[in-house]
Structure formats: C-alpha cells, structure tokens
C-alpha cells in the first residue's frame, strides 16, 4: 500500500457501496428501467417485481412482513415520518433520550413547538446507555410513544431494546427504534424486540445513499399519516416515483447484511481489526475508550480520547486517515458533540476525541498503517507542545 493511500475509517458516517450491490443495480438504470407504478406493460411489471423482491429482502433482515416495509430516502425521513405522522396532540407525551440522532431530537422539538406535545429527554449514563428504570420512572398516563436508538452513532453503545420493547408492549405504549447503525452489525428482530416502528438507511450497510426504509407494524399502520401526498405510492405512506435502482440496491445490501450477521465470520474479523487498532494505539500513547468495552459495543466502532491532542489539528498530520472528530470549529467558536457532553466529557476531552469505525472492506495492512501514522503524529504533536511550553517557562 502506498503511504499516501486513503484509509477510510469513518464507516459510521457512511460505508462504501458494495460492488455486488452496484452490479445488481446497473440493469435497472438502462435496461429494466420501467416505472413500478405504471402497471401497464412488461417493463413496468418487471420493475414492480424487482421492488417486491427487494421489499422481501429488507423485511427478512429485520424479521418483518414485506407489507410492513415502506421505502424512504433514508433514516432521517423515516424518523420524521413516524414522529410527525402519528398526529400527536397537546395532551400527548413522548419519551426519548438526549443522545438520539438530530433528526429525532429536532422532530421532538418540532412537536413541542407546533403541537405542544410534552417530551421527556432521558439522560444516558457515562457509557451512553438508556436505563430502563429511567424510562419506567418517566412514564405518564398520557405517554403515547417511546423513541430509543438501537446503537449510538458516535460512541457505539447498544441499548437493551428487547427490555424496553417488552415494557412498552406491557404498557400499551408505541415503541420506535432508529436502527440505522445496527443493520448488518448485529441481529435485529422487530418481533423479538416488540418494536412497532423501525427506521434504517442503506448507506450504513454498504448500499447507496438516498434510500432507506421504515417498518410499520401491520396492525397499527392506521395510526400513521403520510408526510408526502401525491400518487399514492408505498400504499399511500410515501408518494413519489419509486427510485427503482436504489430499491434494488437496498434489497441486495440487506441480503448481504443478513448473511454477514448470520455467519459471524466477517463480524469477528472486524472486531479483531478494531481490537488490533486499539492495541496498537494504547501500547504507544495514552488513549481512553469512550462507552462500553469492545465486545459489548457496536462491532468495529471506537470512540477514543487522546488527552492534550486536538484531533482537528491531528488530521492535518495524518491526511491519509479518514475519521470523525468530537468537536468542530464554526464561525470562530468551538462546539463539541452533544453526545460526548451527555456522557460527561469535558470540552478538552471532546477536542481530543476521534471516532473510528472499521468496515468489511478494511484490511489488516490498512489498520496497521493507520494506527502507526496516528501514533507517530501524536508523539510529534506532544513533543512539539512540550518544547513550546518549555520555551515559555525559560
């Protein structure tokens, strides 16, 4: 591998599209390009069949019925569709956590402002986990919905979805799960988890951007009003011409994701690579792992604090390694992640935080080179700062 080759370790932000997925999609761009909703000739019938097959594949990866799966542009649309589509009113109450994805938090804020819905934002513990006991103590007589993410996108903590789902079902409270970071990395079962609504996004599990899906339990689908009206596509839940190639792609990506989680071989390899990356760093520099230990967190995900290091500055010294930072500078002011703040990190620790996520396509050679590059850069920056302060003291 060339030293200037890019090593992509930001797979929580997006994954590369699997070449097998691309190959599956290609004929639907220029051969089988009919409109699935036309329903009047051979090309439209082939397109309709392709959509049905893809719907089956997506349903299978979460153990749902095909008719319970509706295609969207991604998890953001799906989360908006559920929270806003339930028609919650001023006398209704919902519960969510303070580390949910922005699309859930801002949808909840929208409901508070526009519909006077009451919202409880449950704080997480220092590992980023939502406590079932905190949920139980937050329940009101008018609680209609609980929305909790499966896996946190920044610190990779996994919530006890089955326990929360069981409690919601016992209390007859609707349960929504943002599973964008879970598909393809662990087994997801909407029946076992007693989940009423679930959202996912293709580009998080080696499909394309611009396509996702929402699961709506069949016997409660009448509770959800569509956000988009028009041609009545997706059984009137999401009008608009179906993006046929993208739908075929998410179907294939879901099929591969199911094979991955069922075999464990690939997930074990990813886990081993992330362990190797962490070991290479901790053996040379001071590093703290945010959240749960490896083995109890999302496979391949690492949120690391390097005290005294600005990961934004570090990026300039390791331009070949792609990772996410825990803070950002905007308009001259420094802001840092609300997730890192919620688990108790100081602004200085957030500045020193990097998010790493290993993918199916990363190699051992890449992990070795990336970790060695980061170690060398951190040592260089630490030494430079030491001499700078030494000169000041003089």
Task: Report residue 336's pLDDT band, with 50, 70 and 90 as the boundaries.
Answer: confident
pLDDT at 333: 55
Q: What is the pTM of this model?
A: 0.94
Each residue of 235-278: pLDDT tens digit? 889 999 999 999 999 999 999 999 999 999 999 999 999 999 99
Considering the domain architecture, whether residues 42 and 176 belong to the same structural domain is answered as yes
Domain final position from 240, 261, 282: 261
pLDDT at 236: 87
Considering the domain architecture, whether residues 224 and 344 belong to the same structural domain is answered as no
Has residue 330 got a pLDDT over 80?
A: no
Phi first, then psi: give them for residue 26, nearest 5 degrees: -50, -45
> CA 215 to CA 58: how far, in whole Å?
10
Domain with residue 255: its CATH number is: 3.40.640.10
Is 27 part of a structural domain of the chain?
A: no
How crowded is residue 288: how many other Cβ atoms within 10 Å of its Cβ?
Answer: 14
Considering the domain architecture, whether residues 149 and 296 belong to the same structural domain is answered as no
Has residue 389 got a pLDDT over 50?
A: no
The DSSP code for 231 is S
Is 342 part of a structural domain of the chain?
A: yes
Each residue of 123-160: pLDDT tens digit? 999 999 999 999 999 999 999 999 999 999 999 999 99
Task: Report residue 3's pLDDT band, with 50, 70 and 90 as the boundaries.
Answer: very low
Domain with residue 355: its CATH number is: 3.90.1150.10
Mean pLDDT confidence for 1-28:
90
Long-range contacts of 270-273 (CB under 8 A, 24+ apart): 270/299, 270/300, 270/358, 270/359, 270/360, 270/362, 271/295, 271/299, 271/300, 273/300, 273/358, 273/362, 273/364, 273/367
Has residue 2 got a pLDDT over 70?
A: no
Is 24 part of a structural domain of the chain?
A: no
List 103, 168, 329, 357, catalytic entry:
329
Go through 54-74 and write b for each residue having 16 or more CB atoms within 10 A of its CB, e for each that does not.
bbebbbbbbbbeeebbbbbbb
Q: How far is CA 66 from CA 168, 192, 206, 299, 311, in A?
A: 24, 17, 21, 27, 44
Task: Report residue 326's pLDDT band, with 50, 70 and 90 as the boundaries.
Answer: confident
Among this protein's residues, is 329 annotated catalytic?
yes
Considering the domain architecture, whether residues 159 and 139 belong to the same structural domain is answered as yes
Mean pLDDT confidence for 188-211:
98
Containing structural domain, residue 308: 7-15+264-393
How crowded is residue 332: how many other Cβ atoms within 10 Å of its Cβ?
Answer: 5
How many domains are contained in the chain?
Answer: 2
pLDDT at 335: 82
Domain final position from 201, 236, 261: 261
Is 153 part of a structural domain of the chain?
A: yes
Considering the domain architecture, whether residues 173 and 310 belong to the same structural domain is answered as no
pLDDT at 40: 85
Has residue 4 got a pLDDT over 70?
A: no
Is 234 part of a structural domain of the chain?
A: yes
């Amino acid at each position: 591998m060339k030293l200037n080759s890019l090593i992509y370790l930001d797979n929580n932000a997006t994954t590369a599209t699997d070449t097998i997925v691309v190959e599956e999609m290609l004929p639907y761009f220029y051969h089988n390009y009919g409109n699935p909703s036309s329903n009047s000739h051979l090309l439209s019938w082939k397109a309709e069949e392709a959509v049905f097959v893809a719907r089956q594949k997506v349903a299978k990866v979460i153990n749902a019925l095909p008719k319970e799966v509706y295609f969207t542009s991604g998890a953001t649309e799906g989360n908006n569709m559920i929270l806003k589509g339930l028609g919650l009113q001023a006398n209704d109450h919902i519960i969510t956590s303070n580390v949910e994805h922005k699309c859930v938090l801002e949808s909840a804020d929208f409901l508070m402002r526009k519909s006077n819905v009451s919202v409880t934002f449950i704080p997480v513990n220092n590992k980023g986990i939502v406590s079932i006991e905190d949920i139980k103590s937050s329940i009101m007589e008018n609680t209609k919905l609980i929305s909790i993410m499966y896996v946190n996108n920044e610190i990779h903590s996994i919530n006890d979805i089955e326990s929360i789902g069981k409690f919601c079902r016992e209390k007859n409270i609707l349960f929504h799960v943002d599973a964008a970071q879970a598909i393809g990395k662990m087994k997801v079962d909407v029946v076992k988890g007693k989940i009423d609504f679930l959202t996912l996004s293709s580009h998080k599990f080696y499909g394309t951007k611009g396509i996702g899906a929402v699961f709506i339990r069949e016997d409660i689908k009448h509770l959800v009003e569509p956000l988009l009206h028009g041609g009545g596509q997706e059984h009137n839940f999401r009008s608009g011409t179906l993006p046929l190639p993208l739908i075929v792609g998410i179907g294939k990506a879901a099929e591969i994701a199911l094979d991955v989680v069922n075999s464990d071989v690939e997930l074990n390899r990813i886990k081993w690579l992330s362990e190797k990356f962490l070991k290479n760093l901790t053996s040379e520099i001071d590093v703290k792992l945010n959240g749960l230990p490896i083995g109890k967190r999302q496979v391949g995900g690492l949120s690391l604090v390097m005290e005294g290091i600005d990961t934004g500055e570090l990026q300039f010294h390791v331009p070949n390694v792609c990772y996410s930072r825990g803070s950002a500078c905007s308009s001259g002011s420094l802001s840092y992640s609300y997730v890192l703040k919620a688990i108790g990190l100081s602004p200085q620790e957030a500045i020193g935080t990097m998010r790493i996520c290993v993918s199916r396509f990363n190699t051992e050679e890449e992990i070795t080179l990336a970790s060695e590059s980061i170690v060398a850069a951190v040592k260089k920056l630490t030494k430079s700062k030491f001499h700078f302060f030494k000169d000041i003291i003089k």
